[in-house]
Homo-oligomer: A and B are copies of this chain.
């Protein structure tokens, strides 16, 4: 293939993306960022480029990130032990301070920098900003067990996020919320992303995971599911473990106005672009059942 033919082939790729670019022009996409895509350097760079590209071709990306391993690492260095209850980190005041430093000071800043290197203008935020835009109520464990500073989203004031995305900025949000008394709480990143997507009436909620997507009983990827199919898959045991809360979070957001939710494989380079700009995508897409 000659150099010119190679170029033309590349240009064809660009114009193939046109229908997707048109369809999602000016639409808001909330992305839960975490797992391998946040650890591997090549994947980090590819993610940052994808997000910046989305913004320049007219979408409004909003990032919500996690950071469990990094929190664990700093707690370890400080000799502070953590207990987990039902997969939730029991978070005392001192742990919460570490959470804030890691999520709000370290990871948040790193993502902002990566996007900046790709030419995007990201703004790091936590739910404490703007008078506490992410309001939470304290979450109790099974049997009313005290989990400390762990909160569930209650109310999201998205006016700041709207202002920023309208001006072309990319919000990068650490999932830290504030309760009615002004106390800081740790929030599950998937849940925070879902609540923010819902409050923004986002076009898409995309959860980056370290699995292929939702698998059927034969371990094959399910490309698309309706809300009803999701419920049946949970009920029948086809879906298990950590995928259940992710699916519940996605369905919850869709019931409150998000158009579609995607559970995608963050281990693939450009997973974000592949999911948004191709029909088949690289994960499981949840859609509303056609009536």
Interface residues of A (CB under 8 A from B): 4, 7-8, 10-19, 21-22, 25, 46, 49-50, 52-53, 56-58, 74, 77-78, 97, 100-106, 108-109, 112-113, 115-126, 128-132, 160, 163, 167, 169, 176, 178, 182, 184, 268-270, 273-274, 277-278, 282
Please tell me if the beta carbons of B56 and A15 are within 8 angstroms of each other in the complex.
no
Q: A197: shortest Cβ distance to chain B, in Å? A: 21
Contact A8-B112, Cβ < 8 Å, known A21-B56, A78-B77, A119-B131: no
Q: Which one of A77, A105, A115 has the highest number of Cβ atoms from chain B below 10 Å of its Cβ?
A: A105
Q: Contacts A18-B118, A119-B19; is A269 near B169 (CB within 8 Å)?
A: no
Q: Closest B-chain residue to A122, C-beta based?
A: B129
Q: List 13 A-B contacts (CB under 8 A).
A: A7-B270, A8-B269, A10-B13, A10-B16, A14-B14, A15-B50, A22-B119, A56-B58, A100-B106, A109-B126, A115-B131, A116-B130, A160-B169
B residues near A77, Cβ cutoff 8 Å: 78
**Copies of this chain in the oligomer:** 6
Distance to closest chain B CB from A274 (angstroms): 5
